[in-house]
Amino acid sequence: MPVLVVGSIALDTLTTPAGKVEETLGGSAVYFSLAARVFDAVRVVGVVGPDFPVSEKKFLEEKGIDLGGMTTGQGPTFRWEGVYGPDLGDARTIRTELGVFAGFSPKLPEHFRGTPCAFLANIDPELQLQVLEQLQSPRWVAMDTMNLWIDRQREKLVEVFGRVDIVFLNASEARQLTGEDNLFRAGAWVLGRGPRFVVIKKGASGVMVLGGPHPFVLPAVPLEDVVDPTGAGDSFAAGMLGYLSSLGGGLDFESVKMGLACGSVTASFAVSGFGVAGLRDLGREAIAERLKHYLATNQLQGVRQ
């Protein structure tokens, strides 16, 4: 059952304590599609410029990703440059050049409109609403956001909450949005605006989901080395939603819990290299092996496969 992603396609320049890369493939739609395609078919809606490398487009197509919704605008491809400190917390933005992404207005090809599962990446809530108007009776829709939209488009953002099934936030965004320091109360506030589940990412402290009969919390996958955290959130969402899409049905709490585990494991591969390097050749066997060990820990004995 295909999953649709609508988001950014970018060329990133990244600096972390491990080094620096320039003009590397990035963007929320790219991280999501490369991670989710391990679980299920993926359809992408986004925009690039004529300068987008032909080799990277070919690479994405060779991975089985449907780029039927990727258009080429008049202007340069979206570029972002960020620097991470020693603690690998939020990146300090050095440069943002929106290029064609500044005028992005998502148009779903006709055969994309009936896609049963959809992920609205952290684009403007107005654009997320435009996508929702074009979808035809999806089984479920998930969305992400960021602090910029919480600051500038809070009312529209809350409107989107009322029309989706799963909301992804990180801990700082949840606190910023709700004014609640307690993440359980923050999650309850979001649930009160309409979605069935809210997933709150806590970085190295793991992830939690609210919306079932009780809150469910998972620790992060233990890693010796983190090279680059860029795209970790999109890769997490991809692992979770790709798994849920592959089930071919609706949403239930047990499946969502397992999806959380799949997302955590998928994100652990994403942070192992610069940009999408950790996802380029990622396969189901590697995820299954790491997932097996992850589920075997005492903290996860309540999760079923």
pTM: 0.95
Find the range with the poorest average confidence among 96-100, 123-127, 250-254, 277-281: 250-254
* Residue type (1 letter), 17: P
Arithmetic mean of pLDDT, 74-101: 94
Nearest C-alpha neighbor of 166 from the set 134, 205, 126, 138: 138
Q: What percent of the chain has pLDDT over 70?
A: 97
Q: Which domains, from first to last, does the chain contain?
A: 3-152+224-286 (3.40.1190.20)
How far apart, in whole angstroms, are the C-alpha atoms of residue 240 and residue 236?
Answer: 6
pLDDT one-digit tens code per residue, 212-242: 999 999 999 999 889 999 999 999 999 999 9
Arithmetic mean of pLDDT, 61-89: 96
Please tell me which residue, 187 or 1, carries the higher pLDDT value: 187
Residue 248 DSSP code: T
Residue 38 DSSP code: T
Q: What are phi and psi of 106, to 5 degrees?
A: -60, 125
Residue 126 DSSP code: H
pLDDT one-digit tens code per residue, 125-160: 999 999 999 999 999 999 999 999 999 999 999 999
Sign of dihedral through CA atoms 227, 53, 236, 144?
Answer: positive
Whether 303 has a pLDDT exceeding 80, the answer reads no
- The pLDDT confidence band at residue 302, using thresholds 50, 70 and 90, is very low
Predicted pLDDT at 299 = 52
